[in-house]
Structure 1
Amino acid sequence: MTTLVGVDALRVAELDLLARRGWFLKFLFSQEEIDDLATAGSVCLACRFAAKEAVLKMLRTCLSGSVPPAQIVLRRSGAGATSVELRGAASERARALGIERVDVSISCERGLVIAVALGTA
């Protein structure tokens, strides 16, 4: 069984300046995510950013690599869990690594966000 892990941590304040730039949001998020984030605060933005970074690391790439972060789509369920949908290059990369399922866990405490991504076959 293949299992890959990615972890990311950041301070919520680190994204405040970048979040004001439209190009940054379009680079990071799908249109559905941008619509969801329109009413969310900086904590939610930081949580999703950290989760995407963790998924990118699990896929053995980086923010400036071959997988556009907007192709990693995160959705919150009614129970508060976050689901991951991989599209395009993200999906192709996961297949190449033998990954069939990606799960994320996100935690935020005192302005620090930590996200863990687990990819399994």
Structure 2
Amino acid sequence: MIAHGIDLVDCDRIDKMLSRHETRFLKRVFTPDEQAYCAKAKNRVERLAGRFAAKEAVLKLIGMGWREKIAWTDVEVVNDAMGKPEVVLSGQVRDIAEQMGIERVSLSITHAANLAIASAVALGTSS
């Protein structure tokens, strides 16, 4: 293990963002595939909140924040054939991860009591 990041998101916060700036918020934060995956679910807000938390957790594990002008979409959450969430990195986030020796990120997301939490663990060989 190289690093760990964790984040907790109040689903109401995501719901408010959707109410105020849905199109802009979705386009800025989520890839088209993430948007499509969440749109088809009854628990859309919870899924979006979980992915938001996952993106934050990944940035924490590489020691970066959104203030560094990193694109939210450089961290994408996809699901494997069994439904397990996986992280796909691109752009500046991928470059930083490679410099750190991160080969993959193990991700877990859960929802409870109007909260979403994500835990991300960086695996690989530290540089």
State if a TM-score over 0.5 links the two structures.
Answer: yes
Distance 1:76 1:34 in 2: 13
| TM-score in terms of structure 1 length | 0.90
Distance 1:19 1:6 in 2: 25
Q: Which has the higher helix share?
A: 2
SS where residue 102 of structure 2 aligns? coil
Structure 1's unaligned 5+ residue stretches are none
Alpha carbons 2:109, 2:119 under 8 Å: kept: yes
Distance 1:101 1:78 in 2: 18
Aligned to 1:10: 9
Alpha carbons 2:105, 2:122 under 8 Å: kept: yes
SS where residue 68 of structure 2 aligns? coil
The more displaced of 85-94 and 18-27 is 18-27
* Alignment map for 1:31-46 (pairs within 5 Å): 31-40=32-41, 41-46=44-49
Question: Following TM superposition, by how much is the alpha carbon of 1:61 offset from its aligned partner in structure 2, in angstroms?
Answer: 0.8
Distance 2:57 2:67 in 1: 14
Q: Which amino acid aligns with 1:10?
A: V
Q: Which amino acid aligns with 1:94?
A: A
Structure 2's unaligned 5+ residue stretches are none
RMSD: 1.5
* Alignment map for 1:54-65 (pairs within 5 Å): 54-65=57-68
Alpha carbons 1:66, 1:89 under 8 Å: kept: no
Aligned to 2:18: 19
SS where residue 74 of structure 1 aligns? strand
> For residues 16-59 of structure 1, what are the alpha-carbon distances to aligned partners after superposition, in whole Å with 9 as ceiling and x for unaligned?
12124222211111122122222231111111100111011111
Aligned to 1:107: 110
Distance 2:88 2:45 in 1: 22
Deviation beyond 3 Å, 4+ runs, structure 1: none
SS where residue 8 of structure 2 aligns? strand
Alpha carbons 1:56, 1:67 under 8 Å: kept: no
Distance 1:119 1:103 in 2: 6
Aligned to 2:87: 84
